């Protein structure tokens, strides 16, 4: 049987998550000699409007009733509401550079996380193209080369967004939930950019469900470890900040088990020529308020809590 392999996909959603969470994560990953794949929100941080939507309604209230301001900081909670939103990658270019210098893969999460997550289905195609176009242009300006990968905010895609990604000649994308790398078929159209789905539920989906707490969540994650590829999406705002000790413990336990860590670029290289086609559609899954893109034709387990 294949040994378990894990690709860590890091979503960077906010200004504070970029400024504080990323350096924390870089230090943690360096300690374990792990290379990961980071997806940066490049444009305005409108997360004051977004925090409540990035994560499941009730989640923050339930878990962090009194801690939300200290977890995210007032700056984040107000950003894009009464404070003008900072352009994240323009304000913090050194963070993207540092991430790349440390050997990690740097990709694009989005231009405006809130806008994409809330309105993608209603975007005219040029708006979809412009969101990714603006993100790509700033990425190139900061890192001096073009982006080869993107990962959609909130796992929200449309046939238009897949078409734009094809046009960008990306090597692979990680926009959905599912089981194995594949070429997406959506609305009857087949796309040529490889999709590498997230296979594990995220921390915010699990916490508070079925009695799972920060103390027991890693036990649960270890039960999800499957032979072959596992893709785990983490958020700098959680695993890089308040949940950093829990995440560090997870890495220690995975490393003890001899689990090997790979980047999504390495996964893509191996899967590109052999990956099958599979349907991709927006669907409801446990633990998320809004539908997410889910790979079809395979049994898809969500929270895996029995
Ligand atoms: Zn995100």
pLDDT tens track for 136-189? 999 999 999 999 999 999 999 999 999 999 999 999 999 999 999 999 999 999
The architecture that CATH gives domain 4-295 is Alpha-Beta Barrel (3.20)
Q: How many angstroms separate the alpha carbon of residue 2 from the centre of ligand 1?
A: 30
Residue ranges covered by each domain of the chain = 4-295
Q: How many angstroms separate the alpha carbon of residue 107 from the centre of ligand 1?
A: 12
For residues 63 and 33, the model is more confident at 33
Bridge partner list, 5: 229, 260
CA–CA separation, 256 vs 5, rounded Å?
13
For residues 111 and 207, the model is more confident at 111
Q: What whole-number percentage of the chain has pLDDT above 70?
A: 85
Pairing of the two strands 189-190 and 183-186: antiparallel
Q: How many angstroms separate the alpha carbon of residue 156 from the centre of ligand 1?
A: 10
pLDDT tens-digit map of 34-90: 999 999 999 998 876 655 555 555 555 545 544 555 566 666 666 666 667 889 999
**Residues in contact with 132: Cβ distance below 8 Å, sequence separation at least 6, in sequence order:** 108, 110, 111, 150, 161, 164, 165, 168
Q: How many angstroms separate the alpha carbon of residue 252 from the centre of ligand 1?
A: 25
Confidence of residue 299 (pLDDT cuts 50, 70, 90): very low
The SS3 call for residue 189 is: strand
Q: How many angstroms separate the alpha carbon of residue 212 from the centre of ligand 1?
A: 22
Cβ atoms of 254 and 5 closer than 8 Å: no
Tokens of 197: 């789905």
CA–CA separation, 171 vs 272, rounded Å?
9
Q: How many angstroms separate the alpha carbon of residue 144 from the centre of ligand 1?
A: 24
The pLDDT of 2-10, averaged and rounded, is 95
Residue 287, pLDDT score: 81
Q: How many angstroms separate the alpha carbon of residue 172 from the centre of ligand 1?
A: 17
Average pLDDT, the chain: 89
Q: How many angstroms separate the alpha carbon of residue 249 from the centre of ligand 1?
A: 23
């Amino acid at each position: 049987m294949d040994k378990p392999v894990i690709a860590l996909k890091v979503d960077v959603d906010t200004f504070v998550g970029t400024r504080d969470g990323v350096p924390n994560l870089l230090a943690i990953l360096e300690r374990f000699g792990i290379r990961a794949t980071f997806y940066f929100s490049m444009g305005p941080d409108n997360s004051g409007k977004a925090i409540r939507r990035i994560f499941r309604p009730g989640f923050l209230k339930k878990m962090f009733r009194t801690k939300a301001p200290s977890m995210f900081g007032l700056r984040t909670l107000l950003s894009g509401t009464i404070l003008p939103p900072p352009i994240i990658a323009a304000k913090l270019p050194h963070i993207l550079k540092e991430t790349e210098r440390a050997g990690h893969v740097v990709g694009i999460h989005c231009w405006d996380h809130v806008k994409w997550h809330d309105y993608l289905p209603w975007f005219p195609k040029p708006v979809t193209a412009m969101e990714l176009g603006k993100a790509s242009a700033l990425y190139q300006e900061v890192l001096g080369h073009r982006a080869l990968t993107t990962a959609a905010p909130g796992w929200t895609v449309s046939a238009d967004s897949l078409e734009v990604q094809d046009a960008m000649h990306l090597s692979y994308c990680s926009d959905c939930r599912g089981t194995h790398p594949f070429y997406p078929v959506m609305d009857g159209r087949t796309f040529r950019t490889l999709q590498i789905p997230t296979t594990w539920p995220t921390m915010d989906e699990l916490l508070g469900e079925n009695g799972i707490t920060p103390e027991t969540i890693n036990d649960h994650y270890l039960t999800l470890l499957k032979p072959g590829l596992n893709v785990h999406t983490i958020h700098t705002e959680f695993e890089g900040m308040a949940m950093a000790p829990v995440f560090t413990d997870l890495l220690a336990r995975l490393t003890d088990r001899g689990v090997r860590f790979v980047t999504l670029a390495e996964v893509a290289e191996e899967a590109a020529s052999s990956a099958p086609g599979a349907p991709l559609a927006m669907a409801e899954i446990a633990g998320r308020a809004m539908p997410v893109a889910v790979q079809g034709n395979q049994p898809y387990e969500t929270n895996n809590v029995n």
